[in-house]
Structure 1
């Protein structure tokens, strides 16, 4: 049965909706800060001073991200080449979706007492790797959904829908699941369904909730998304051919300067953006003394900003192309990063402020941090949407999944860089606040490299010469 194009597009959209809670609930706004709280307390109980315990917890979280990034960096291009040479993508999406669900649900075992670091970190890595790999193969389907002029709008709409999914999941989790130190959710009630707040079962159930959310909302994807008929499946010699083709693609990168510079640029600015996302909760907990619920409210505002900006950015992408959208987004992220560094509990950009609550108990510094978070969410939403349409323009149309594998490699090859720079700078300065300043430098380097990126990618003659 032939699936109408509109249904295929909506099925493709639903992957973003279904998968976003791993980023929103687990990586950034709920489980990440919970990890910081529990591991810091564990280190302090072993005799470490508070600041050293916080630094050690941040280091452990960095290792989680670095290990998962290394697995993705090494494997993504090879898997992409395998998919291109076999003519199949959906089986890979199904397999990695299963890893997503297993990894997310397994965070239930992150007990506050007797916290098993190896088990929790391992489970989280499995889920994160599953989510990232499934995303690679889903992104590679984007060119099949519309013309070059249409894919910017499609990508932006998909990213906006993903943000809305993350927002809905986050609001539910904050209202009914995630509890603060007093055992209360955002609406002042104990977690839903009799979950034991003393053992933080509400917060720990967020991972199970994310897995259920993913499996339910992936149903339209599985029903409506199909492999392109013009890509016949091949089974003989696929692995060998894939490795040969991948090697050839990498060797030819110097002959494709626009693609090479784009991969390098996106490597830096995406690494910096991921640093802002993954350490935002740690930063707010350590510098401003926020709780898991506080960071969740911050997340709601950031996600709303991201959804709106992704939608509008997709329209701008279709009209002006992805490069201007990326440039403006990087400038906005630099402004946000500088602002975050200049916010302390008692000052904003060096101007002293009161530490008394102004609105709903939030201080001036809290409000300023919320505004910076909205800017990060907005710029982050638009830049991620535009980045994948830019990759479509830069890549060889015949090797699209492999190209997104390289894109994932570029995004993960230096995934250790932002955490390492933050850790080193924090240690040398003795300040969590100063520790995030390297992100500004990474954004600036990414901005400079974009100068050599052609808005419409390489000439067709380059790809024809490789055929």
Structure 2
């Protein structure tokens, strides 16, 4: 298979560039902190209620993706409608994110519902855009292409969040009238920056006609069931999805709680918060590109496992930040900046390598469906991870609860053992022209 044109690859990667505005501004840097400390504002309880409600809202949105993702993937494969599904998720995210402007202190339920809807649109769109990856080049080039997408995404996050932090200011009740604009700003950035995706990304595949009396939802459920029954033929992909489940559970905790951890445990000032954001974005982009380059040379599995090993170190350092500050006689926020650079490298590399491996193991004619299962595994992980950390921090506090991530990354690393990369690629190639079907070709 030939590599797609540079313009199409760039158009595909621009969706990663665009949607990072949502991830960072809404989930990681600004709105998550705003929700827990200002919208809920239970400082007298160490923000444990706010943290728990934040976890619940995100977990509910990911549960909706778990239910809808594989079925949507099967329908997209059958009807060659990936761009239409992608556009629908894009519109939903933009509209509901812009409405976050109306979430004022005390409007807890409105905030939770808008986060559920906007994060559902964003998260299911991740699976939709990832399903195009196998069309963009041969298996040996997917590591670099996936890494390029992640790296461009982190640059997009850096650009969008830098402007937001410059113009919106700190997260506080006193600055609420300014910082509430974070929703419309993130929505506008996403809307404009993703335009090249819809202009240049090609819809491949041939739509098929439904059998008389059948419907797309029934079709999707039947195709998903057929894929589940055939999972034994894709055992390397199955083990990868198990590993992705544990890895993404840990990563979703880190994404949702890093800046909350910085505010509540490390107690950083505004300057350190901004510096941490820049450090994480630059190191994550470097990790995605650097490990993407390595992946095409030393293998995706080895790269993925090496990244998980680094995560074990990163979580230990996050937990030990207050203690290390005492050992070295410096402030915890200074240590946390160094720790953030390690976590940033891991963040870009694990997600890029995992996505590329799915692209290698997925049969060409079932790419959207298999990436739907990748999304299912990731979002099930988010539910377990976020509810787990939410309940644990309500019991023992956020500082101790972060060690839950150590267990998750250790399990993810253990699950890579049975994966044979060459066997997984051969299985996908042998079945590239075979897929369960319902209906007749147009």
User: How many residue pairs align between the two structures?
Assistant: 427
Q: Tell me the residue number matched to 2:398.
A: 432
CA distance in 1, matches of 2:119, 2:281: 19
Is the Cα–Cα contact under 8 Å of residues 170 and 296 in structure 1 kept in the other structure?
no
**CA distance 1:348–1:311, change in 2 (3 Å):** same
Higher RCO structure (Cα 8 Å, ≥6 apart): 2
Is the Cα–Cα contact under 8 Å of residues 337 and 437 in structure 1 kept in the other structure?
yes
Output the aligned Cα RMSD: 2.0
CA distance in 2, matches of 1:165, 1:38: 27
What is the aligned counterpart of 2:191 among 215, 218, 221? Answer: 215
Q: Tell me the residue number matched to 1:455.
A: 421
Q: Tell me the residue number matched to 1:442.
A: 408
Is the Cα–Cα contact under 8 Å of residues 69 and 416 in structure 1 kept in the other structure?
yes
Q: Tell me the residue number matched to 2:327.
A: 352
* Range that drifts further, 169-178 or 266-275: 169-178
TM-score, normalised with respect to structure 2: 0.91
Structure 1 unaligned regions, length at least 5: 182-196, 355-362
3-state DSSP of counterpart to 1:342: helix
Q: Tell me the residue number matched to 1:64.
A: 57
Q: Tell me the residue number matched to 2:45.
A: 50
CA distance in 1, matches of 2:190, 2:293: 27
CA distances 1:394-420 after superposition (whole Å, capped 9, x unpaired): 222221101011111111123222233
Deviation at 1:258, TM superposition (A): 1.1
3-state DSSP of counterpart to 2:180: helix
Work out whether 1:373 is the aligned partner of 2:359: no
Alignment map for 1:249-328 (pairs within 5 Å): 249-290=227-268, 294-328=272-306
Deviation at 1:464, TM superposition (A): 6.7
Bigger share in helix: 2
CA distances 1:231-254 after superposition (whole Å, capped 9, x unpaired): 235455443332211101112223
CA distance in 1, matches of 2:154, 2:291: 13
What is the aligned counterpart of 2:180 among 192, 204, 222? Answer: 204
Work out whether 1:404 is the aligned partner of 2:379: no
Is the Cα–Cα contact under 8 Å of residues 52 and 391 in structure 2 kept in the other structure?
no
3-state DSSP of counterpart to 1:334: helix
TM-score, normalised with respect to structure 1: 0.87
Deviation at 1:290, TM superposition (A): 3.0
Is the Cα–Cα contact under 8 Å of residues 178 and 206 in structure 1 kept in the other structure?
no
Deviation at 1:21, TM superposition (A): 0.8
CA distance in 2, matches of 1:453, 1:21: 34
What is the aligned counterpart of 1:142 among 120, 123, 133? Answer: 133
Work out whether 1:34 is the aligned partner of 2:34: yes
**CA distance 1:390–1:398, change in 2 (3 Å):** same
Work out whether 1:419 is the aligned partner of 2:365: no
CA distance in 1, matches of 2:419, 2:411: 13
Deviation at 1:40, TM superposition (A): 4.9
Deviation at 1:180, TM superposition (A): 4.7
